[in-house]
Amino acid sequence: MDRPGKPPSNKQNKGEQAPGDLGRALKTVYDETLREDVPADFLDLLDKLG
């Protein structure tokens, strides 16, 4: 039996995601970020440093 004030250990709370879902979401965002072009203004700033 579950204790009061503590969520059940074998059920997910409403709105809660499995750890694998979070990992996949983070990987998707990371992969999308890698595919983005570097803004021209940023490249200009890097040229000024070098």
Please write the tens of the pLDDT for every residue from 8-50: 555 556 667 787 899 999 999 999 999 999 999 999 999 999 8
Max CA pair span of the chain: 66
pLDDT score for 25: 95
pLDDT score for 8: 59
C-alpha 43/C-alpha 39 separation (Å) is 7
Q: Looking at per-residue confidence, does 14 or 1 come out higher?
A: 14
pLDDT score for 18: 81
Tokens of 18: 């499995």
Count Cβ neighbours within 10 Å for each residue of 30-50 and write b for 16 or more, e otherwise. Answer: eeeeeeeeeeeeeeeeeeeee
